[in-house]
Chains A and B, each alone.
Chain A
């Protein structure tokens, strides 16, 4: 006999209720990067738009930065930690494989016993997490979901690589997603292109260190074995990000039924100012749209970059609660995710 199972029942729609960010206390200017590479402040700024980034200290762990950002997002949503039903952490720079860092973060935040897990979706991690959260809220798996993008990319930076040494930063950005009577997170346009997996990648897999064949491990200028780092094919990434991602962004607008004229803010992944500038041109965004340019002082923080930029736009008054924003993340995988949201 097939018994009748009661269906899970969620909210009609979901929305972002609160946002919070954490930037490490140490600000690293380009001058410091130049100690290790033959380059110049002018070169770095013209290629990336980056002037400073934040690098985490020993106490600013992936978990600690997440707790700071997550706590702010929960407070911003007007909630208490016990109300959180699920915690989703997106990161590629937590170096303890198991257990998921999400469980530790949930515990440190003082949540009850929420579902808690990590996802790995590179610089698209925030959009992936947001999409999961929207699903959980509307299918009844959780009333309130905490989504955090967090990275310590300084740990995965090759200080001697002049093409990437200046790019990355550390930090955590969080949002709380909860029930809504109106649609406030549009359809997600997302996907992956695994045929381009080498375009942005970790230099050496961890397994090579276990095998210990020195000929397969990267060495620094003094001959010491180096930690793995993120490496990328700059021109290929730029072309894909600007031209292919502009199409994805446009599709997200179309699927949400929002015209560019109705848009208040554009919050792309903060990869590089040149990508942002060219994307705006390709998308033909109207002048009135506020564009997040947090990369200048935060660097590229992968999964953390969109919520960090969102928090800054709201905190500085460049955008306000209720504004309509297009968000798009894209990166290693290659993976991407774009959607239109109502800002908290």
Chain B
């Protein structure tokens, strides 16, 4: 069953917490991965790969650079999840 926006946000928050050590409650839709959450470009790849596995979605390299905020990522997953 496809995940809801809320479930995706919760899942992403757990992933970001595990990879970058950011408190899960700081991961909100309007937060920028690089500027607000200190997730650098390489950690972002790890976040993306973990999200792909968790939400059964493919996020190609070319699309990764468009995912600036947590909201961008949630929307992308919502649209593309299997």
Q: Do A and B come from one complex?
A: yes
A residues near B (Cβ < 8 Å) are: 46-47, 233-236, 238-239, 242-243, 274, 278
B45 touching A238 by the CB < 8 A rule? Answer: yes
Residue of B nearest to A43 (CB): B40
Q: Which secondary structure dominates where chain A touches chain B?
A: helix
Known: A239-B49, A243-B49, A278-B46. A234 touches B61 (CB 8 A): no
Q: What 1/0 mask marks residues of chain B from 16 to 43 whose CB sits below 8 Å from any chain A CB?
A: 0000000000000000000000001110
A47 touching B61 by the CB < 8 A rule? Answer: no
Chain A hits for B61, CB < 8 A? 233, 235-236, 239
B79 at interface by CB-CB < 8 Å: no
With the chains together, A274 CA to B19 CA distance in Å? 12
B residues near A (Cβ < 8 Å) are: 40-42, 44-46, 48-49, 61, 64-65
The 9 A-B pairs with the shortest beta carbon distances in the complex, nearest first, are: A236-B61, A239-B45, A238-B45, A274-B42, A238-B42, A235-B45, A235-B41, A235-B61, A235-B64
With the chains together, A242 CA to B42 CA distance in Å? 11
Among the listed A233, A234, A243, which residue makes an inter-chain contact with B42, where contact means beta carbons less than 8 Å apart? A234
Residue of A nearest to B64 (CB): A235
Chain A hits for B49, CB < 8 A? 239, 242-243
Can you name 5 A-B pairs with beta carbons within 8 Å? A47-B42, A234-B42, A235-B61, A238-B42, A242-B45
Residue of B nearest to A239 (CB): B45
Among the listed A235, A242, A243, A274, which residue makes an inter-chain contact with B65, where contact means beta carbons less than 8 Å apart? A235
Chain A hits for B46, CB < 8 A? 242, 278
Chain B hits for A235, CB < 8 A? 41-42, 44-45, 61, 64-65
Chain B hits for A274, CB < 8 A? 42
Chain A hits for B41, CB < 8 A? 47, 234-235, 238
Residue of B nearest to A196 (CB): B61
Given A235-B45, A274-B42, 20 further pairs, Cβ under 8 A: A46-B40, A47-B40, A47-B41, A233-B61, A234-B41, A234-B42, A235-B44, A235-B61, A235-B65, A236-B61, A238-B41, A238-B42, A238-B45, A239-B45, A239-B61, A242-B46, A242-B49, A243-B49, A278-B42, A278-B46
With the chains together, A233 CA to B42 CA distance in Å? 11
Chain A hits for B42, CB < 8 A? 47, 234-235, 238, 274, 278
Chain A hits for B45, CB < 8 A? 235, 238-239, 242
Residue of B nearest to A274 (CB): B42
Chain A hits for B65, CB < 8 A? 235
Chain B hits for A242, CB < 8 A? 45-46, 49
Task: Name the residue in B42, B46, B49 with the highest tally of chain A Cβ atoms < 10 Å from its Cβ.
Answer: B42
Residue of A nearest to B49 (CB): A243
Distance (whole angstroms) from the CB of A195 to the closest CB of chain B: 13
With the chains together, A45 CA to B64 CA distance in Å? 23
